[in-house]
Structure 1
Amino acid sequence: SGTAGVDVSTVQEVTLLDSQVQCVPTNAKGPLGKGLSALLLGQLSTSQQGVFVLPGVIDADYQVIIHITVWTPNPPVQIPEGEKIGQLVPFQSLVPKATNRLRGTGGFGSTGSPQIYLAMDIKNSKPQCKVLLTWKDESTCKLTMLVDTEADVTII
């Protein structure tokens, strides 16, 4: 009693060799049951050890093994098999007019094509970048963006 969520743990040992985001398989699999969705959050003890779990939403119709996205600013870091690094906080979605959709079994992005079209590393400068976005109907949009969000990577 009093527990906000269900712990999830790693199913294999993982070593974070750099500060790139990595997906780690867990012992949890969707669907969660009873029409529940869940917030996937990190354990406080995990971040105290220098491993940060990026939060996510697990939809009620998610069909495959749940992965946790993690990163560390101070590699290398080893995460042992069976380590409880995250928790699922269940909730009942109250989105009006939500539609049922057929999900694939590919995990991330299984409901459609990826939406990330440009990713670039930036260093200490604050450069501008000219970007041309092209849609399926071949219409385009040109824009100039500042490539700095006080993060190491900017994604459009």
Structure 2
Amino acid sequence: IISSTAANANIILQIDNARLAADDFRLKYENELTLHQNVEADINGLRRVLDELTLCRTDQELQYESLSEEMTYLKKNHEEEMKVLQCAAGGNVNVEMNAAPGVDLTVLLNNMRAEYEALAEQNRRDAEAGFQEKSATLQQQISNDMDAVTSARSELTELKRSLQTLEIELQSLSAT
């Protein structure tokens, strides 16, 4: 009877250990799943930011193309008007003017493009820094929570083992 009681207690201990291991794996799975979902949400947020930046860039490129076409059109009209005026004048007229140089649209557009690219890069760095900061905070919180859970789980396991040991001793003493 004592041998059977000890064998039963041993089996109960093994069952409890298996149950604790299963609970531990379930908790680890839930933590990993939560972390995975948080990372997915952050990635989706960053994709939205990337889409917005892509739209801004496309819009700027379209504006650049439009202004380039307009500049080409204006140059062509100017040349035609100059030809018409030269034909109408019929003679050689030499006119010298001291005028301020015109605004170079190419330089202006290149400057605008550089500013927008710098702004986009700054936004990307800010978003990345914010993401890193939030990730670090979450990692620290998860680490602290995991340490607390592990400590509590270890303490619970130790208490269960002590309880089982005491129950086995009680049964042994009762049998005696």
Superposition TM-score tier, normalisation by shorter sequence = under 0.3
* Higher share of residues assigned strand: 1
Larger radius of gyration: 2
Point out which structure has higher relative CO (alpha carbons under 8 A, 6+ apart): 2
* Higher share of residues assigned helix: 2
What TM-score does the superposition give when structure 2 sets the normalisation length? Answer: 0.15
